[in-house]
Amino acid sequence: MKQNLHDQIIQLDYSEEMRTSFRDYAMSVIVSRAIPDVRDGLKPVQRRILYSMIELGLDPTKPHRKSARIVGDTMGKYHPHGDSSIYDALVHMSKDYTLMVPLVDGHGNFGSIDGDGAAAMRYTEARLSPGAMALLDHLEKGLIDFNPNFDGSEKEPVVLPAMIPNLLINGTTGIAVGMATNIPPHNPDEVIDGVIAYMDDPDITTQGLMEYIPAPDFPTGGTIINVDEMEQIYETGEGKIRIRAKAEIENGENGRKNIVITEIPYTIAGNKSKLVESLSNLIKDKVFEEIHDVRDESSKEGIRIVIEVKRDRDIENLLNGLYKKTVLEDTYSVNLLAIKDQQPVVFSLKGLISEFVDFQVEIYTKEYNYLLDKAQKRLEIVDGLIKATDVIDLIIEVLRGSSSIKQAKACLMEGNTSDIKFKSEASKKEAATFCFTERQADAILSMQLSKLIGLEILKLHDEKDSLNDSIREYEKILGSTKELYKIIKKRLLEYKKIFHSHRKTMLINAKSKDYVEEVKIEDIYVLIDRFGYVKSLDTTSYSRVLEDNLKEFNYIIQMKNTDRLCCFTAEGNMFQIKAENIPKCKMKDRGSLIQTLCKLDKEEVILYTSFEQLFESQLLFITRKGFIKQVSGAEFETNRSQISATKLEADDAVVGITLLSAGDILANNLKVIILTDKGLSLGFPLSEVPELKKNSRGVKAIKLDKDDKVCYGSAVSPTTETFVYNNKEYSAKKIRIRKRADKGQKAKL
């Protein structure tokens, strides 16, 4: 009968299926890919690589084997996730600038600290390092559990019997779904001392542990500058470590000083060439004017990046700037996340050490149970062999009278003498008393006749005594945690000698100092043509310019390279442009439109001046509606690029701004002259113009007819003969001085 198709359809809630599937995927990534086990400190791919290598017999005493073979075995047997991920993990485990104790001994091009990639796996070779053997030793003793591989054809270890705290020594990094781990490497000597201190006092505090493990120790050296925060980081398992490159000051050529970088932050290990490139770009981008040159003189002896500094510069200030603006000072984010019982857990420093010690107790207990069992089984055999030598003649008679090994073994174990031919009834009766164990019977049946020599029999008695001593020792160790700890400590101290390393990373407390931008103050000339193009020339270039070539420029302002160019417009605004932002050009270069350097847009500029000159001067404002005022230049001190320079009515505009120096004002003989659209003129002493605030409207300067407006206004000295307005020349001498706010007279050409 045909089954209804509708009955085969399973109805599922889409959101529930997505939730379940994504949760399963996330846990698979967390547990089986990205996060290490807290016991051996390895991710699954790393563990599988090391196990494949030990299966291939690649211990440190054996020749190197092609990496492609190792990757192939690992992928085919245990890790079917692609060869590139396996080879990347293999390469990572060989890097001495990433790991404190490398786990793979690589032969060939495995990359460099500069950022060079490793050669293809077909060109490189590898074998296990002594560090890996500390994780793999005693694997044959059944100390750890094995699980079926992905297809059930092989068995792989759930965890390696790590005898050193690999997770703390080598650290790790990994990004999973919704979480990440970032455990920094530590000094092997310090970590082992810390583990022993914990075993001596399980109630030790984080502060107590930090007497042995004060901070991470990075393979690239450098300096940790926030040591005071380490206790909080170790207590919570999270935080940020600030690492700074190690720099030395050396004398260079031509009176220069050099900053020499000899150690770089761990965060840029494997990217040194990018660091050098970024430092070189500081010169191109003119971020630090003090740097003359950057070069990489690194070699096999170590890192040496030379930053040549220009003469007579504050080198300490520059170094502060480099720390602040480059990765010569960087942040390492700590997250002590690892897998425990198939669950991700954030540990404290003490928590990681506690888990390692618990794991050591577990595997050492299994090891000594294994050794005890092995010794007891051997003692059983030795006892049997000693007992057999006492009745060897009867045993030989049993063997000669037996028709099969099975018949002889039954006699030895159970005293079964049926169908066995004996020389006498007494022999048969004595043979019936045999009660050897199966293990003893097998040993007797396989015993060589040479064992009957007197010296060999003596050796059996010595071996029995030795086995009894060993069994008593094993039972003592297994019966006391204190004795077990002694064994663990002893072996840890042996590994400490093997992996001994002096601390590479310095520890200090330092605050990042502000960088004070160091600029060499010099005179420049700012040139602005009638189209609004602006550029700057240094004094040397300006001095070589012919006078005829300067006629095309409407404005030439001399100022300092640290000053600002101030632009006052008819709309009553002031715009500022930093001198450093004005393009430095050659005379033949056009420069940049001034509108691209500030928000000037299409406003008509009446006055250009430097802020330094403005600050020490007075400004005279005259508007279309005939208002006038003096304003102190100090009123315009601001960091803003645009401000309102004066208050204007809705339909008013500035027609004249005159810059008055302190000398002009002290002379007290300047005359204000004003022209109107109807050709009227008025002159009066500058002393009649009051000094007001910039946000005031001013006072009346001239009495205007209803349909008349001011078109020109300025202040002139008594010696001024004429002035030009709208391409017409007017006589300044013929404008008689009258009172301010009087009606004007006809202006004379």
Picking from 401, 406, 432, 435, the residue whose alpha carbon sits closest to that of residue 419 is 401
CA-to-CA distance for 375 and 468, rounded, in angstroms?
8
393 band by pLDDT with thresholds 50, 70 and 90: confident
Residue range 627-657, pLDDT digits in tens: 999 999 999 999 899 999 999 998 899 999 9
Which of 7-16, 251-260, 566-575, 595-604 ranks highest by mean pLDDT? 566-575
In this structure, the number of other CB atoms found within 10 A of the CB of residue 726 comes to 8
Residue range 36-65, pLDDT digits in tens: 999 999 999 999 999 999 999 999 999 999
Picking from 532, 550, 533, the residue whose alpha carbon sits closest to that of residue 541 is 550
pLDDT of the residue at 6: 66
pLDDT of the residue at 41: 93
Ordered structural domains, the chain, with CATH: 42-161 (3.90.199.10), 246-327 (3.30.1360.40), 355-498 (1.10.268.10), 616-746 (2.120.10.90)
Residue range 298-319, pLDDT digits in tens: 888 889 999 998 887 888 888 8
pLDDT of the residue at 110: 95
Residue range 455-486, pLDDT digits in tens: 677 888 898 999 999 999 999 999 999 999 99
Listed in sequence order, the residues at least 6 apart from 235 whose beta carbon sits closer than 8 Å to its beta carbon are 206, 348, 349
Picking from 40, 67, 215, 41, the residue whose alpha carbon sits closest to that of residue 143 is 40
Picking from 577, 579, 566, the residue whose alpha carbon sits closest to that of residue 523 is 579
pLDDT of the residue at 511: 78
HSE toward the beta carbon, residue 417, CA cutoff 13 A: 20
CB 345 within 8 A of CB 337: yes
501 band by pLDDT with thresholds 50, 70 and 90: very high
In this structure, the number of other CB atoms found within 10 A of the CB of residue 290 comes to 25
445 band by pLDDT with thresholds 50, 70 and 90: confident
DSSP-derived pairing of the beta strands 642-644 and 745-746: unpaired
CA-to-CA distance for 98 and 94, rounded, in angstroms?
9
* More confident site: 169 or 530: 169
pLDDT of the residue at 315: 87
75 band by pLDDT with thresholds 50, 70 and 90: very high
397 band by pLDDT with thresholds 50, 70 and 90: confident
CA-to-CA distance for 682 and 740, rounded, in angstroms?
8
HSE toward the beta carbon, residue 381, CA cutoff 13 A: 14
| Sheet (strand 592-593) strand order | 553-560, 523-529, 533-538, 592-593
Q: What is the mean pLDDT of residues 256-285?
A: 89
Residue range 675-733, pLDDT digits in tens: 999 989 999 999 899 999 999 999 999 999 888 999 999 999 888 888 888 888 888 88
Picking from 44, 103, 106, the residue whose alpha carbon sits closest to that of residue 78 is 44
Please say if the pLDDT value at position 21 is more than 80: no
pLDDT of the residue at 607: 92
pLDDT of the residue at 433: 87
* More confident site: 453 or 371: 371
What six digits make up the tokens of 236? 């919570």
Listed in sequence order, the residues at least 6 apart from 296 whose beta carbon sits closer than 8 Å to its beta carbon are 272, 273, 276, 304, 305, 306
Please say if the pLDDT value at position 5 is more than 80: no
pTM, to two decimals:
0.72
As a whole number, the mean pLDDT across the chain is 89
Please say if the pLDDT value at position 121 is more than 70: yes
HSE toward the beta carbon, residue 680, CA cutoff 13 A: 18
In this structure, the number of other CB atoms found within 10 A of the CB of residue 564 comes to 23
CA-to-CA distance for 119 and 121, rounded, in angstroms?
6
Per-residue three-class SS string for 585-650: CCCCCCCEEHHHCCCCCCCCEEEEEEHHHHHCCEEEEEECCCEEEEEEHHHHCCCCCEEECCCCCC
CA angle (683, 689, 692) in 5-degree steps: 150
Residue range 221-246, pLDDT digits in tens: 999 999 999 999 999 999 999 999 99
CA 165 centroid distance within chain: 24
HSE toward the beta carbon, residue 372, CA cutoff 13 A: 15
Burial (CB < 10 A; 0-12, 13-18, 19+), residue 433, is exposed
| Residue 305 β-bridge partners | 261, 296
pLDDT of the residue at 44: 92
CB 168 within 8 A of CB 352: yes
Residue range 431-440, pLDDT digits in tens: 888 888 889 8
Burial (CB < 10 A; 0-12, 13-18, 19+), residue 209, is buried
Rounded to 10 degrees, what is the CA torsion of 422, 423, 424, 430? -50
Q: What is the mean pLDDT of residues 345-369?
A: 94
Residue range 126-143, pLDDT digits in tens: 999 999 999 998 888 888
Please say if the pLDDT value at position 418 is more than 90: no
342 band by pLDDT with thresholds 50, 70 and 90: confident
What six digits make up the tokens of 43? 């991710």
As annotated, the active-site residues are: 123
Of the chain, the percentage scoring pLDDT greater than 90 comes to 57
